[in-house]
């Protein structure tokens, strides 16, 4: 028990709940919903459905608070795009926390055919709400550079950090449940048991359009061995991702790359780009919650260095009045004259120098003429 406590404490002590994992998760969540609203017009988002409920879906009681049910859906679509652009900019995360949740949930609830990515983005935005409400930064891209030094001097977590870490644990539990359910639910299907499920999925024209992706899908499922390996390999990876909640840092990094590649292949074959973005946002927090992403930090520092001259130009010093010509040395007070002599000689103040005879070799010309 002591070993487990020490391990948990060592893993979580250095985690910044508002670090790069939180920023990337928040940004990717907004990006996926933004792409859905931007590249799909009202005729696609609110396409008539077979059932009696016509889009936008405004089923009571939840539907009445949907953004897309407050008037013209086409107009509110642009409002949602504006909100998500502000979220992507990183401005005032606390102020935009509730609007972000409102927009993502409204899209997943009220459009005609929401996909898994819309639902995942809605859940992630809701899970991020406590972190965003506790984030008082003006720009989400500003981090605390002295946090590690403070923890080294006083390794005690405050209440705010404990609260943030609790939210991180909830997000990781959500990811674990998603992958565990995705894997276990397939065990009851005969095609997943015998290793042929991918063969049928890749040849269904409803999911795989007839273009170059069709050729790729046919090529990788052309033999029974490759089909079985892909089918069972996907199941094994989903189980491994579910068990990653107990994995160490090195194993999580490997699984993060494999998970991103896995969902990237799904995005290429089935065209589910926004689903890949939503799952990438989840994986970043699930497997990279304790990673400060040094590559991103270096890129951010480089961008800041490039933008620094622009900031200096914007903060130019005001035009100061031109100073008047100094008075002649003969007309200056004796104390000021001594200071000038001292500074000119060796860079120190004249008051700190040993007194000298005014007629000595160091006296200025005309200083004591009779």
Give yes or no for residue 296 having a pLDDT over 60: yes
Q: Where is pLDDT greater, at 154 or 230?
A: 230
Find, among 132, 106, 103, 99, the residue nearest to 25 by Cα: 132
Give percent of the chain with pLDDT exceeding 70. Answer: 72
Give percent of the chain with pLDDT exceeding 90. Answer: 47
- What is the model's pLDDT at position 345? 44
Whether 116 and 100 have beta carbons less than 8 Å apart is answered as no
Give yes or no for residue 352 having a pLDDT over 60: no
Q: Where is pLDDT greater, at 97 or 153?
A: 97
Find, among 195, 194, 193, 213, the residue nearest to 205 by Cα: 213
> What is the pLDDT averaged over residues 145-173?
83
pLDDT tens for each residue of 266-282? 898 888 899 999 999 99
> What is the pLDDT averaged over residues 196-208?
82
Query: What are the b/e assignments for 138-157, b being 16+ CB within 10 Å?
Result: eebeeeeeeeeeeeeeeeeb
Q: Where is pLDDT greater, at 250 or 369?
A: 250
CA–CA dist 264, 237 (Å, integer): 14
- The burial of 159, by beta-carbon neighbours within 10 Å (0-12 exposed, 13-18 middle, 19 or more buried), is given as exposed
> What is the pLDDT averaged over residues 318-335?
51
CA angle 110, 111, 115 (to 5 degrees): 110
> What is the pLDDT averaged over residues 2-8?
43
pTM over 0.85: no
Q: Where is pLDDT greater, at 337 or 207?
A: 207
Phi and psi torsions of 91, nearest 5°: -80, 130
pLDDT tens for each residue of 17-73? 998 899 999 999 999 999 999 999 998 998 887 765 678 888 878 888 999 998 889
In the 8-state DSSP scheme, what is residue 332?
A: S
The encoded tokens of residue 316 equal 């130019």
pLDDT tens for each residue of 83-138? 999 999 999 999 999 999 999 999 999 998 888 899 999 999 999 999 999 999 99
Contacts of 86 by beta carbon, 8 Å cutoff, 6+ apart: 92, 96
Whether 221 and 230 have beta carbons less than 8 Å apart is answered as yes
Give yes or no for residue 197 having a pLDDT over 50: yes
Q: What average pLDDT is seen over the chain?
A: 80
- What is the model's pLDDT at position 12? 64
pLDDT level of residue 142 (50, 70, 90 thresholds)? confident
Find, among 163, 175, 196, the residue nearest to 285 by Cα: 175
Range name among 199-203, 210-214, 247-251, 313-317 with the lowest pLDDT average:
313-317
pLDDT level of residue 251 (50, 70, 90 thresholds)? very high
Please report how many Cα atoms fall inside a 13 Å half-sphere around the Cα of residue 76, on the Cβ side. 20
């Amino acid at each position: 028990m002591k070993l487990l406590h020490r391990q948990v404490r060592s893993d979580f002590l250095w985690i910044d709940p508002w670090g790069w994992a939180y920023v990337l998760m928040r940004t990717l969540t907004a990006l996926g919903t933004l792409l859905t609203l931007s590249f799909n017009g009202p005729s696609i988002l609110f396409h008539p459905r077979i059932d009696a409920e016509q889009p936008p879906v405004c089923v009571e009681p939840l539907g009445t608070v949907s953004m897309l049910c407050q008037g013209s859906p086409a107009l509110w679509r642009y409002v949602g795009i504006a909100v998500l652009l502000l979220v992507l900019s990183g401005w005032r995360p606390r102020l935009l926390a509730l609007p972000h949740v409102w927009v993502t949930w409204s899209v997943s609830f009220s459009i005609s055919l929401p996909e898994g990515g819309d639902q995942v983005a809605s859940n992630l935005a809701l899970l991020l709400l406590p972190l965003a409400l506790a984030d008082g930064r003006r720009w989400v891209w500003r981090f605390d550079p002295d946090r590690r030094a403070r923890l080294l001097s006083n390794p005690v977590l405050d209440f705010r950090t404990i609260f943030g870490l609790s939210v991180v644990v909830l997000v990781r539990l959500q990811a674990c449940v998603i992958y565990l359910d995705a894997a276990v639910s397939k065990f009851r299907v005969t095609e997943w048991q015998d290793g042929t499920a991918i063969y049928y999925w890749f040849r269904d024209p409803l999911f795989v359009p007839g273009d170059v992706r069709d050729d790729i899908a046919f090529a990788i499922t052309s033999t029974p061995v490759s089909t079985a390996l892909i089918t069972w390999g996907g199941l094994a990876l989903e189980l491994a991702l579910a068990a990653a909640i107990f994995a160490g840092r090195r194993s999580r990094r490997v699984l993060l790359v494999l998970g991103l590649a896995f969902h990237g292949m799904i995005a290429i074959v089935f065209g589910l780009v926004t689903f890949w973005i939503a799952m990438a946002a989840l994986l970043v927090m699930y497997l990279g919650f304790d990673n400060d992403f040094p590559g991103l930090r270096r890129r951010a520092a480089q961008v800041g260095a490039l933008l620094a001259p622009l900031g200096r130009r914007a903060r130019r010093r005001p035009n100061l009045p031109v100073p008047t010509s100094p008075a002649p040395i003969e007309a200056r007070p004796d104390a000021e004259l001594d200071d000038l002599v001292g500074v000119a000689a060796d860079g120190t103040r004249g008051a700190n120098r040993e007194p000298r005879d005014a007629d000595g070799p160091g006296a200025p010309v005309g200083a004591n003429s009779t």
